[in-house]
Amino acid sequence: MTNRDLTYIGVLVDRSGSMEDMRSEMEFALNAYLKGQAAQPGPARVTLAQFDNAYETVYQWQPIESVPQYRLEPRNATALYDALGRLIAESRATIAHMAEDERPGTVIIVVITDGYENSSVEHTQGSVKAMITEQQDEHSWQFVFLGANIDSVKVAGSLGISADAAMDFVAEAAPMAMERLGAYTASMRSVGHARFSDEDRAVSRGESN
């Protein structure tokens, strides 16, 4: 049996050149999100990875209360499929090598991007969707997709991620979007389910006071 108290959060952040327009907002918002999760009941481990046309692990399987501040340095293109495929594969391998009673009872993969896929070479939409579907169906992993300047529900759906777990945001509302993501994540950790509401979506699009 897995450790029901333990949560694993894998965060994948787009650092392609277009993220420059929201660099400061996203840095603040992501650091606040992680700090907020550290304050939630129960232990959590975090992997933070960033991508452009290359993939980089910022830190891996760290106790959430001791993760360093994140700095976003935008550059290059958007190899979303390659990055997401790699994060899933590496997270899966790490968990598979753990004793059963040490494995996290809740796994949440968060994707944050501001552009459409344009430069992957190892993975396709189909291969990543198959990986996501397998982890959802066989291991109850949860996937969350936040996107700026794209149709997040459509892109998430093409990857097998529920519309309830996908949300658009705009740069100026990034802190509010990440606050709503924090509430979503906290709900998933505490009661095992969550969904973005219409209010969440409006706030994240900058449409609500």
Mean pLDDT of 151-157: 97
Residue 209 pLDDT class (50, 70, 90 cuts): low
The total number of structural domains in the chain stands at: 1
- pLDDT at residue 144 tops 70: yes
In percent, how much of the chain has pLDDT > 90?
Answer: 97
C-alpha Rg value of the chain to the nearest Å: 16
**Residue 137: inside a domain, yes or no?**
yes
In percent, how much of the chain has pLDDT > 70?
Answer: 99
Which pLDDT belongs to residue 44?
A: 99
pLDDT tens track for 160-205:
999 999 999 999 999 999 999 999 999 999 999 999 999 999 999 9
Residue 58 pLDDT class (50, 70, 90 cuts): very high
First-to-final CA distance of the chain: 45
pLDDT tens track for 75-112:
999 999 999 999 999 999 999 999 999 999 999 999 99
Instruction: CATH number of the domain at 79, please.
Output: 3.40.50.410
Taking all residues of the chain, what is their mean pLDDT, rounded to a whole number?
A: 97
Task: Name the DSSP class of 68.
Answer: P
Mean pLDDT of 112-128: 95
**Residue 50: inside a domain, yes or no?**
yes
Give the distance, in angstroms, between the CA of residue 57 and the centroid of all CA atoms in the same chain.
14
- Give me the sign of the Cα torsion angle 21, 202, 8, 95: negative
Mean pLDDT of 106-123: 96
**Residue 10: inside a domain, yes or no?**
yes
Which pLDDT belongs to residue 81?
A: 98
Which pLDDT belongs to residue 119?
A: 92
**Residue 209: inside a domain, yes or no?**
no
Domain that holds residue 129: 3-204
- Phi, psi dihedrals of residue 73, rounded to the nearest 5°: -125, 90
> Dihedral (C-alpha) 106, 111, 117, 121: value to the nearest 10 degrees?
-50
Whole-number Cα distances in Å, 109 to 17, 21, 141, 167, 171: 23, 24, 8, 14, 21
pTM above 0.95, yes or no: yes
Q: Where are the beta strands (DSSP E) in the chain?
A: 3-14, 44-51, 55-63, 104-113, 142-147, 166-168
